[in-house]
Amino acid sequence: MRPDLKNLAYRATDVLGNTLLMPPRGSRRYFVHHGPRDTKRVALTFDDGPCRGSTELLLDALCELDVRATFFCVGVNSRLNPDLVRRIDAEGHDVGNHSHAHRRFGGLSLRDTEHITLGETEIVDALGKIPTLYRPPWGWLTPWEGRRLSKLGYTSIGWDVYTIDWKLPEPDPERVADDAYRDARPGSIFAFHDAFPLLADWQKTVTTEAIRQLVPRLRRDGYEFVTVSELLAIPAYRDAVSSHS
């Protein structure tokens, strides 16, 4: 295929994927976008890490704010920084699987599972337990990806509050916090990004600064911050030894 046609096909697939496969669409049967709407409990989630620098900065802030959250970790990043994966878990946060290499097109394959299982392996190597929460890269979830994730023991986690903290150059953290606060509802799952996929180190401050602004505002409104597993009342992990016995 000519390079210009290949680029056009890629862009068309990208637009269609973002339109049809991301929350709140995607595979509705398998995606969970929020928790119960009758209680003021919400879950902060962070994708794409962990990275030295940015993830460490965020973890320090969450500790100071006394907030537990959920980190969807990329397999490559988990291999590069296993001590950070262990720190996330040790400080009371959930660790979820965010695929091995953060490629959106893995979920389009009718048969491939390596993007899921290789990411899982890196997390198991760091923690000794298998995550039960999975977030597809960019939130792309096809029906067949949803089915195979379910067969592998995963709950596919979307969001109902999405932020642009991933953009470069970094956006204004006050705007990120304001937008997230405006969209918050009881049971909301917030999608933030603590790091950059496939890199060991990343210097980023917008997410941490936005969280420092958002948390006190929502707390004043009576919101409690919990992990995704707590919000949905499901386990965050399966035991690696019993799962493979």
Q: Cα–Cα distance between 15 and 12 in angstroms, integer?
A: 5
Dist CA 126 CA 124 (whole Å): 5
Statement: the pTM of the whole predicted model exceeds 0.75: yes
Domains of the chain: 3-243 (3.20.20.370)
According to DSSP, the residues that pair with 42 across neighbouring strands are: 225
Spell out where the chain has E strands: 31-32, 41-47, 52-53, 70-73, 94-97, 129-131, 133-134, 155-157, 161-162, 189-193, 201-202, 224-225, 237-239
Query: 34, 93, 115, 193: which is the annotated catalytic residue?
Result: 193
How much is the CA Rg of the chain, to the nearest whole Å? Answer: 17
Q: What is the pLDDT of residues 142-173, one digit of tens each?
A: 999 999 999 999 999 999 999 999 999 999 99
Is residue 193 annotated as part of the catalytic site, yes or no? yes
Question: Which is catalytic among the residues 34, 47, 100, 165?
Answer: 47
Give per-residue pLDDT as tens, 11-65. 877 888 899 999 988 898 999 999 999 999 999 999 999 999 999 999 999 999 9
When the pLDDT of each residue in the chain is averaged and rounded to a whole number, the result is 94
CA atoms within 13 A on the CB side of 244: 10
